[in-house]
Amino acid sequence: MLMDIMLLSNPVVFGMASCIRKLSKQLADYLKIEEAWKIEIASMLSLIGTFNIPYQVLIDILKGKIVEREYRNMYEQYPETGGKLVKKNSSIRRCSHHY
């Protein structure tokens, strides 16, 4: 459900999260980490907190452009926003400490 929200709200962020997941998986495999699937899930959800930032504003932030302070604050708080969303979902709560 959370991944669907991210995909629908911003396919670019979904693509970025997919790249993060791929790199995390490679690193976890290299380090032979047990339960690496938790890291993969956390990686995919790492940007879920950006869902409430308008698409074009997020693109501008990622390009280093200056945006209104309200949007900059939303961006700076996206890890906390995402963490709250993840913790509300009981099926992935166990992974939230990786987030």
Model confidence over 57-95: pLDDT tens digits? 999 999 999 999 999 999 999 999 988 887 877 566 555
What was the pLDDT predicted at 99?
Answer: 43
DSSP-based three-state secondary structure for 14: helix
Rounded to an integer, what distance in angstroms lies between the CA atom of residue 20 and that of residue 39? 10
Quickly state the pLDDT bin for 29 (edges 50, 70, 90): very high
What's the pLDDT score for residue 83?
A: 85
Instruction: Please give the Cα distance from 32 to 95 (Å, whole number).
Output: 18
The DSSP code for 77 is T
Angle between helices 78-88 and 69-76 (to 10 degrees): 50
With beta carbons less than 8 A apart as the criterion, state whether 96 and 46 touch: no
Contact call for residues 45 and 17 (beta carbons, < 8 A): yes
* Torsion sign (Cα): 75, 79, 49, 24: positive
pLDDT at 91: 60
**How large is the average pLDDT for residues 19-38?**
93
Q: Identify the pLDDT of residue 92.
A: 60
Task: Reply yes or no on whether the pLDDT at 97 is more than 70.
Answer: no
- pLDDT tens for 11-23 read 888 888 889 999 9
